[in-house]
Amino acid sequence: MSLLDILTFPNPFLKNPAQPVAQIDGQLQAVIDAMAETMYQAPGVGLAAVQVGLDKRLLIYDIAAKEDGRQLHVLINPKIVSQEGEIISENEGCLSVPEFRSDVKRAAQILVEGADRDGNPLRFEAQGLLAIVLQHEIDHLNGTLFIDRISSLKRQLYARRVNKQIKNQER
């Protein structure tokens, strides 16, 4: 396996909604394995295919504590069927938005549908950290970054900082 490059803001690919996965085959399984290796190395608790430059409605996550061992989960073509309540995801971060964290309003409980890595249908409720991670990663599949859900002032400040870093690197 090899690590994949994680795209970072302001890469325009991150703003594109992903296309549904049409076929679950060995190639997709290899992509899932490479995404998992990349997520664990980063380290992160979730990763959407668009974050590694793949136009697929595919995400992986693992919110288990390290001492509990790895518990990789895969969601193919996920969608949020319903949501209720509101919580604040405190200090939310993203592998595609490095060196920035912010509070984000999220639904407290969601109902998700999709398929596992073998194509078996899944439908489950999520709350707490799992609900936050799933909303965050499904947002990626819809072309939305978590900074799109914060105040425009905070978003502009981050964008200026990143653009300044890019200009300094080009010199």
Candidate list 86, 125, 137, 170, residue with the active-site label: 137
Instruction: Evaluate the omega torsion of the peptide bond into residue 121 and state whether it is cis, within 30 degrees of 0.
Output: no
Which amino acid, one-letter code, is at 41?
Q
Q: Is 56 helix (H, G, I), strand (E, B) or coil?
A: coil
- Are 51 and 14 within 8 A, CB to CB? yes
* Sequence-distant (≥ 6) Cβ neighbours of residue 18 within 8 angstroms: 48, 49, 50, 54, 55, 56, 57, 58, 140, 141, 142, 143
Is 99 catalytic? The answer is: no
Dist CA 102 CA 99 (whole Å): 10
Dist CA 52 CA 31 (whole Å): 10
Residues identified as active-site = 137
